[in-house]
């Protein structure tokens, strides 16, 4: 399988039942709760809501949802099915979200994740998100109400000029 077998496309309203299925299969950490089709529909109906679906070999394997409001954006979630993790899908999805944010005129992109979520921390740090805060005991565990998890908040500053795609290439050619 190669990167060419992957396709990332914008999410439409017709995808909502599929998104609910993906959500329940992907978000099963102690701090997660499944989002119903109804709540996903409500989120996608919000102004500035957008999403991307990653398909690999024509099968859906991941999703990302974000809200872009004027020059600020928030990534609500990024998820890849457990069997498809660790192959760069999350990174590819993240690139699509960041490109979408740039195209929408977003200057600052925010997100949060559980501090214990090492995969999320790595994915977002590698995408350039820097930690800007910490929310103590922010997430609860439905199966153990006394247990709480800290959250990390991060931000990606998109206002800096994007490096030109030809950076580093000698345009003058051989002398």
Ligand X SMILES: CC(C)(COP(=O)(O)OP(=O)(O)OC[C@H]1O[C@@H](n2cnc3c(N)ncnc32)[C@H](O)[C@@H]1OP(=O)(O)O)[C@@H](O)C(=O)NCCC(=O)NCCS
Enumerate binding residues for ligand X (CB under 6 A): 26-27, 77-80, 85-91, 113, 117-120, 122-123, 126
Residue 116 CB, nearest approach to ligand X (Å): 10
Q: Are 46 and 86 in contact (CB under 8 A)?
A: no
- Give every CB contact of residue 95 below 8 A, 6+ residues apart in sequence: 127
Of the two residues 16 and 89, which places its CB atom closer to ligand X in the complex?
89
Q: 88-108: b or e for each residue (b if 16 or more CB lie within 10 Å)?
A: ebbebbbebbbebbeebebee
Distance in Å, CB of 168 to ligand X, minimum: 21
What is the nearest approach in angstroms of ligand X to the Cβ of residue 135?
14
**C-alpha separations of 93 from 36, 60, 99 in Å:** 22, 12, 10
In angstroms, rounded to a whole number, what is the distance separating the alpha carbons of residues 105 and 53?
21
Which residue, 37 or 116, has its beta carbon nearer to ligand X?
A: 116
Q: CB 170 → ligand X: shortest distance, Å? A: 29
Torsion of CA 72, 78, 127, 73, to 10 degrees: 0
Closest to ligand X by CB, 105 vs 133, is: 133
Q: How far is the CB of 147 from ligand X (least distance, A)?
A: 17
Give the separation between CA 80 and CA 131, rounded to whole angstroms.
22
> Which one, 74 or 78, has the nearer CB to ligand X?
78
Measured from each CB, the residue nearest to ligand X is 90
User: 7 or 105: whose CB is closer to ligand X?
Assistant: 7
């Amino acid at each position: 399988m190669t990167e060419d077998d992957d396709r990332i496309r914008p999410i439409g309203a017709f995808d909502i039942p599929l998104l609910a299925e993906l959500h329940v299969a992907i978000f099963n950490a102690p701090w997660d709760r499944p989002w119903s089709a109804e709540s996903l529909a409500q989120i996608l109906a919000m102004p500035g809501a957008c999403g991307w679906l990653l398909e690999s070999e024509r099968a859906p394997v991941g999703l990302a949802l974000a809200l872009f409001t004027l020059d600020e954006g928030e990534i609500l979630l990024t998820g890849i099915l457990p069997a498809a993790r660790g192959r760069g899908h999350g990174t590819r999805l993240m690139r699509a979200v960041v490109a979408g944010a740039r195209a929408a005129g977003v200057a600052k992109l925010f997100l949060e994740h559980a501090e214990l979520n090492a995969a999320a921390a790595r994915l977002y740090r590698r995408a350039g998100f820097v930690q800007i805060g910490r929310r103590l005991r922010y997430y609860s565990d439905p199966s153990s109400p006394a247990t709480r998890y800290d959250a990390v908040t991060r931000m990606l500053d998109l206002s800096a000029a994007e490096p030109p795609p030809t950076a580093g290439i000698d345009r003058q050619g051989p002398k």
